[in-house]
Structure 1
Amino acid sequence: MTALDPALRAIEELRANVAVPFERAQAMPKSVYTSPAFAEAEQRHIFAQDWLCAGRADALKEPGDYLTMEIAGEPVIILRDRDGQLRGLSNVCRHRMSTLLEGRGRVRAIVCPYHAWTYNLDGSLRGAPAMTLNETFCKEQVHLPKIRVADWHGWIMVTLNPEAAPIHDRLRDVEALVGHLDMASYSETFREEFRWATNWKVLAENFMESYHLPACHAGTIGGTCDLALMECPEGTEAFNYHWIVKNDLVPLALAHPSNTRLQGDARRITWLLAIYPALLITLTPGYFWYLSLTPDGPGHVKVLFGGGMSAEWMADPDAPTHLAKVKELLDDVQVEDKGCTEKVYRGLLAAMSSPGPLSHLERPNFEFAQYIARMMPPA
């Protein structure tokens, strides 16, 4: 990159932004959100390098269950193999490079829609029609490239980077914080995808701070928390977090009466975990929901939105009623967040707009900016 490169200019602005103490912190520079060149740099240096979330492991229950995703332009398959293990594979045929699978589903084998080359669930080539006369073809030497995937407490985590630190090591501090809630025991009950007209970081930052709850979510959850009771401690290089002590307005946010493990405030604390770069988890003793973000240029974000309930609430005879209520609530919350975050992006594009100072309740946003700056290449 040259001194005139737009991505480099945005990186330099961001580094200057995070070089001050938090007590003097300002919102990130506009270029970090709006520059196409910076968006391309994020793909190379963040999304192609770090761990990302493909959803919940219980979305792939049986052998052959699969889902597809795209990471930094790379088509990827995540599936459950015949041994019951999660496996990550390239979603591109080794023949004429057609993509193989779309969306989600269940297959016995992976069949290319172009020339019917067929792969086993481990990525090895099972068969290829009309290839016997090519002297260079050897079926045993053809295999879909493998991609690292791990089950982290019920979350499917995937990375293109063979050198990335193991996810259980990277997120050991998350386990220390919320291990008592046993994330792996929660059941996913819905999984949806949508696209919003905002930058992915605007949506991530919106999740990371609860400062906006009373205003943006006045019609839903804004009255369930008290800004004076919120705490935003320092995070780590891998994630940030804060928590809210909830009142009784949303019973599903509390531990089920049959849960005798959790005591005191642990029965009513909502944890908000931002796993860098793009997994955002709201975890309560009763239910959870999450967003996994994929940038779509500077001005759009593809969102995987899922959630469900704890084992105790799932076992409740009234579980269907509880599920319907929590889903209705979360749908309304998403409508409110869509409106707020798309307004922010429109404001970022305005000539007269400029970033302002951060509240003490926005410490996670500042730490997120520091993470992004760390991931960018040196000047």
Structure 2
Amino acid sequence: MSSTQPVAELLQAATRPMEDARGMPPSVYTSAEFLERELETIFAKEWVCVGRAEGLANPGDYLTYDLAGQPVVVIRDKSGQLRAFSNVCLHRMSTIVEGTGNKRLLVCPYHAWTYDLEGRLRGAPFMTRTTGFCKENYALPQIRCEKWLGWIYITLDKDRPSVASALGELQRMIAPYQMENYVECFRETHVWDTNWKVLAENFMESYHLPVCHAATVGGHSRLEEMDCPPGLRAFNYHWITKEASLAIGNAHPDNTRLTGDWRKTTALITLYPSHLITLTPGYFWYLSLHPKGTGQVSMVFGGGLSPEFMADPRAEEYVASLKTLLDEVNAEDRGCTEKVFRGLNADAARAGHLSYLERPIYDFMQYIAERTAGFERSFPLAAE
């Protein structure tokens, strides 16, 4: 299948009004050619979240990430600055480091060419007889890296506007939480057998909670309490105001920043293309997604607590209960989203009408159509 069919079908779906909206067509999820278009027009261009800054607290702390086929290392340098580099040795082009950890130097595992935390070549064994070689001429190419409200973002696009310029409206909307002060307590990576957009859509709508999560959070999810307003250019969102099932879901007694309904309101945020956050008065959890093929998605999964719960003597207990719950929720989501991808590959698969509770999916569809197919989104003047 060429990308022509998915693009035409996507444009047809994106032009429907929300009141008569259907989901994205199956071909948008199953076409390898369309995925290549997504990698080129979305993941090679946009800001992508790789985790929280507190996860790289010390000089030499690093993490790795593959962005649109490009290996990247993000590291805290000796001065405390966050940097991102190409994770490819400048000698024979091996990748240099894997996973996460702490390094005093970045040493290539192939021939031990060695780089400092600022990306400069510091050692190259047995190169003294090579005419014209000068290690001062070698430095790992830098990748743009920015921090926003505690999150680390990277992009391959040298001309992309800053993260803060794109998310200023969101920052104002969620300012009462002071998310920048929340503390990440765990970060993991997983691979699920589904399309990245299926998992993104699953996170951004709460319509599925009573059914998919019947054994965990579903019984505490009252759909009539959810507010799903239209999204904005760089993100969509919805709100849930309720008494949480976990104590950490509501504001800590020592939290004097949040008042009224803010003390029991959860924000569910999708930052395009693939950073998904559940932000509560007491904790947050997030996913950052990247496709590994039409039927696989690489997922960074993490979570943590607000500063008041981190300062509580029971902080370790709260972290453990949060992690236990989220592991159970993830297991449920994995089952649901992998079933959806299997269904998308059926000859009889057709996208049905969306509920008003799936408004974020409609906005996400129009974002995908804009990036991959030239669809023109429109927004009220007040939301620009």
Alignment TM-score > 0.5, same fold: yes
Task: State the SS of the aligned residue for 2:49.
Answer: strand
Distance 1:121 1:179, change over 3 A: same
Does the alignment pair 1:196 with 2:204? no
Q: RMSD across aligned C-alpha pairs, in angstroms? A: 1.2
SS in structure 1 of the partner of residue 293 of structure 2 = coil
Task: Determine the structure 1 residue equivalent to 2:381.
Answer: none
Distance 1:214 1:132 in 2: 67
Aligned to 1:89: 85
Structure 1 partner of 2:380: none
Which residue identity lines up with residue 208 of structure 2 in the other structure?
H
Alignment of 1:110-121 (within 5 A): 110-121=106-117
Q: Distance in 2 between matches of 1:140 and 1:321?
A: 50
* Conservation of the 8 A alpha-carbon contact between 1:243 and 1:271: yes
3-state SS of 1:354 partner: coil
Return the alpha-carbon distance in structure 2 between the equivalents of residues 378 and 260 of structure 1: 46
Shift of 1:8: 2.5
For the pair 1:337 / 2:333, whether they are aligned, the reply is yes
Kept in 2: contact 1:235–1:241 (CA 8 A): yes
Instruction: Pick one of 210, 213, 217 that aligns with 1:214.
Output: 210
CA-CA distance at 1:137 after TM superposition: 1.5
Report deviation, 1:221: 0.8
Give the structure 2 partner of residue 33 of structure 1.
29
Note the C-alpha offset of 1:95. Answer: 0.8
SS of 2:72's equivalent in the other structure is strand
1:244 counterpart SS class: strand
Is contact 2:225–2:242 with CA below 8 Å preserved after alignment? Answer: no
Letter in 2 for 1:111: V
Distance 1:115 1:367, change over 3 A: same
Partner of 2:382: none
**Which residue does 2:131 correspond to in 1?**
135
| Deviation by residue 1:90-142 (Cα, 9 ceiling, x = unmatched) | 00011110110011111111111111111111111112112222223121211
Say which is worse superposed, 62-71 or 249-258, in terms of deviation: 249-258
Question: Any conservation in 2 of the 1:6–1:37 contact (CA below 8 Å)?
Answer: yes
Normalising by structure 2, we get a TM-score of: 0.96
Equivalent position SS for 1:161: coil
Q: 2:254 pairs with 243, 254, 258, which one?
A: 258
Gaps of 5+ in 1: none
Counterparts of 1:341-356 in structure 2, within 5 Å, are: 341-356=337-352
Q: Which secondary structure does the structure 1 equivalent of 2:227 belong to?
A: coil
Aligned partner letter, 1:77? V
Local SS of the residue matching 1:296: strand
Verify the 8 A CA contact 1:191 1:304 in the aligned structure 2: yes
Length, aligned pairs only: 375
Structure 1 counterpart SS, 2:303: strand
Q: In the alignment, residue 193 of structure 1 is paired with which amino acid?
A: T
What SS does structure 1 have at the residue aligned with 2:145?
Answer: strand
The DSSP-based 3-state class of the residue aligned with 1:262 is coil
SS in 2 for 1:6: coil
Deviation at 1:163, TM superposition (A): 1.1
